[in-house]
Amino acid sequence: MEVAQLVLNGVMAGTVLAVPAIGLTAIFAVLRFTNFALASHMTIGAFAGFVANTTFGLPIVPSLATAFLVSGFFGWMSDEFVLRRLRASGFVTTAIGSIALTIALENFVRFGFGNQMRGYDLPLRRDWVIQGLRVSPQQVENLAIAVVVVALLFAFLALTRTGKAMRAVADNPMLASIKGINSDTVARLVSFIAMGLAGLGGMLTGLDTTIDPLVGFRTILSVFAAAVVGGLGSIPGAVVGALVVGIGEELSLLFLTPAYRTAVGFLAILLVLTLRPRGILGQRAY
């Protein structure tokens, strides 16, 4: 029974984790670098949603939309003014730049909001108990929102012209540019959507617990683990990887203390890189 409960929790945590993991893997697929600034964009999204929710009194869904738009905007701007110029100097420089960027942005949030923990304005609700399994309505809502967002994203990539252009650039930038796809536009769009997803993921993570400026940095190892386990650069992989990492982190509670949750993500990274570097659904190990 305990195992069933943990797996259920893992599926819910994993679905939420899939949202920022897709953002990370999309940036890697199209722009070909690991963007550590994802951490601060999760924080920015969480706080943008917090302001929308508590200061302006918006319900959760519009607040989540605010989180997506604000962190997406920051992602677009930070790519336009910072990371785009660094990409020409290679991925080592870009990755280090993205770490510096994440620390700068995280501290902007800290400057404005301080270090204390904050919670969203949520109605208090009793947990549901179904056949001995306990779930909170909030978790179910988060799960539903994450599923809808991921489904919308898949539809966007599969059906729209812009989505196809993005996949084309990810697949082969040279061929895409021969076909007249403007890679700069695609880069802007990917930065906006991916960092928007990071912000949305940051707020979804915060809805379950509390938020503070470190909310992104605490989660980033799990996000990276999800992307690497699924196969860096593969969007379906990020979803599968997030579920694996989410369930794995919960199941680890059977024999580890909760503090080691993020260490489980790291262990998953090591395991995958040793046994199958391209991940579950990745096509190549780069």
Q: Are strands 133-135 and 128-130 parallel, antiparallel or unpaired?
A: antiparallel
Residue 91 touching other proteins (CB under 8 A): yes
Residue 232 touching other proteins (CB under 8 A): yes
Total residues at the site for other proteins (CB under 8 A)?
Answer: 45
**Type of residue found at 232:** L
Residue 76 touching other proteins (CB under 8 A): no
Residue 92 touching other proteins (CB under 8 A): yes
* Interface stretch with other proteins, choices 147-155, 175-183, 240-248, 260-268 (CB under 8 A): 260-268
**Type of residue found at 9:** N
Report the chain's C-alpha Rg in angstroms.
18
Residue 47 touching other proteins (CB under 8 A): no
Residue 280 touching other proteins (CB under 8 A): no
By CB neighbour count within 10 A (0-12 exposed, 13-18 middle, 19+ buried), where does 253 fall?
middle
* The one among 224, 231, 234, 282 contacting other proteins by CB under 8 A: 224
Shorter beta-carbon distance to other proteins: residue 68 or 224: 224
Residue 282 touching other proteins (CB under 8 A): no
Quote the CA–CA distance of 146 and 23 in Å, as a whole number. Answer: 13
Q: What character string, x for contact with other proteins (CB under 8 A) and - otherwise, covers 93-122?
A: x-xxx-xxx-xx--xx-xx--xx-------
**Shortest distance, CB of residue 182 to other proteins, whole angstroms?**
24
Shorter beta-carbon distance to other proteins: residue 28 or 68: 28
Nearest CA to 222 out of 167, 269, 188, 182 is that of: 269
* The one among 22, 187, 204, 228 contacting other proteins by CB under 8 A: 228
Q: Do residues 234 and 281 lie in contact, with contact meaning Cβ atoms separated by under 8 Å?
A: yes
**Type of residue found at 164:** K
Shorter beta-carbon distance to other proteins: residue 182 or 209: 209
Shorter beta-carbon distance to other proteins: residue 96 or 144: 96
Joined tokens for residue 176: 């895409």
Residue 89 touching other proteins (CB under 8 A): yes
Shorter beta-carbon distance to other proteins: residue 1 or 259: 259
Quote the CA–CA distance of 253 and 210 in Å, as a whole number. Answer: 21
Quote the CA–CA distance of 8 and 64 in Å, as a whole number. Answer: 24
**Shortest distance, CB of residue 39 to other proteins, whole angstroms?**
10
Q: Do residues 136 and 125 lie in contact, with contact meaning Cβ atoms separated by under 8 Å?
A: yes
Quote the CA–CA distance of 17 and 133 in Å, as a whole number. Answer: 21
The 8 Å CB, 24+ separation contacts for 142-145 are 142/12, 142/15, 142/16, 142/204, 142/207, 142/208, 143/11, 143/12, 143/15, 143/16, 145/61, 145/64, 145/204
Q: Which of residues 152-211 bind other proteins (CB under 8 A)?
A: none
* Interface stretch with other proteins, choices 62-70, 157-165, 195-203, 259-267 (CB under 8 A): 259-267
Residues that bind other proteins (CB under 8 A): 28, 33-34, 36, 82, 85-86, 89, 91-93, 95-97, 99-101, 103-104, 107-108, 110-111, 114-115, 217, 221, 224-225, 228, 232, 257, 259-260, 262-263, 265-266, 269-270, 273-274, 277, 285-286
